[in-house]
Amino acid sequence: MIRVFVADDHPAFRRGLDLMLRDVEDVHLVGEAESGERAVELIGVLEPDIVLMDLRMPGLNGIEATRQITSRWPGTAVVVLTMFEDDDSVLAALRAGARGYLLKGADQDEIVRSIHAAAAGEAIFGAQIAERVTAHLAAGAGSTTPAFPSLTQREREVLDLVAQGKGNAAIAHELMISLKTVRNHVSNIFTKLQVSDRSSAIVTAREAGFGGLDR
């Protein structure tokens, strides 16, 4: 029996998955959570085999929750199930340790296949996502595509300084822009990187080579 946990802030979507999985003989839904914090808390108690994880949730988002789960409980596989299909979200989820990535709207067969694949130690992606992952891998190390392509040039400059550990006032002084403008840039960066706070943004940015590291 494959033990599955669902993390999603929409009650109707959680109920739909519950009804869907009840018909699958070797899959059992053991719990659910409406936030990343609650998911991490319950997974430590319930020890599911698979977590179906949304990305955009209040508080701790799905990327950070995935990072914590895969580092603390490596025997639990995370499959992202979300409406976001942009490259930044996909790559951030993979860097966090997700073993699969599906878009909401996937049918029952696709979701069940992903659960079985992840339980067997395989990685699985929806058709649209697989094309993005394949293109990224095909580009290889020589690709000129920058990390976080959705960021503007100014946002990239701000992120680089954030990754260096500089505060908003210092960034405003260095870039000669207003403190309010820096705050707006930082807020946009958090949204595009799918992170909820500054420390998470720093970790994500440094993993991509920002902050004075090789890029």
> Is 37 inside a domain boundary?
yes
Identify the band that residue 214 occupies on the pLDDT scale cut at 50, 70 and 90: very low
Looking up residue 161, the CATH number of its domain turns out to be 1.10.10.10
pTM (global) more than 0.85: no
Q: Look at the chain and report how many structural domains it folds into.
A: 2
Residues 88 and 28 in one domain: yes
Residues 70 and 131 in one domain: yes
Q: What is the reported pLDDT for 146?
A: 64
Q: What is the reported pLDDT for 141?
A: 47
> Is 167 inside a domain boundary?
yes
**Is the Cβ–Cβ distance between 100 and 124 less than 8 Å?**
yes
Residues 120 and 92 in one domain: yes
Residues 116 and 184 in one domain: no
Residues 57 and 109 in one domain: yes
Q: Which residue has the higher pLDDT, 86 or 33?
A: 33
The CA R_g of the chain, rounded to the nearest whole Å, is 18
Q: Which two tokens stand for residue 93?
A: 């989820």
Write out the residue range of the structural domain in which residue 97 sits.
2-139
Q: What is the reported pLDDT for 59?
A: 81
Identify the band that residue 120 occupies on the pLDDT scale cut at 50, 70 and 90: very high
> Is 162 inside a domain boundary?
yes
Identify the band that residue 215 occupies on the pLDDT scale cut at 50, 70 and 90: very low
Give the per-residue SS3 of 110-153.
HHHHHHHHHHCCCCEECHHHHHHHHHHHHHCCCCCCCCCCCCCH
> Is 214 inside a domain boundary?
no
Residues 69 and 24 in one domain: yes
Q: What is the reported pLDDT for 138?
A: 57
Looking up residue 31, the CATH number of its domain turns out to be 3.40.50.2300
Residues 9 and 54 in one domain: yes
The H or E element containing residue 65 is helix 62-72
Identify the band that residue 4 occupies on the pLDDT scale cut at 50, 70 and 90: very high
Task: Report the chain's mean pLDDT, rounded to a whole number.
Answer: 87
> Is 215 inside a domain boundary?
no
Residues 127 and 51 in one domain: yes
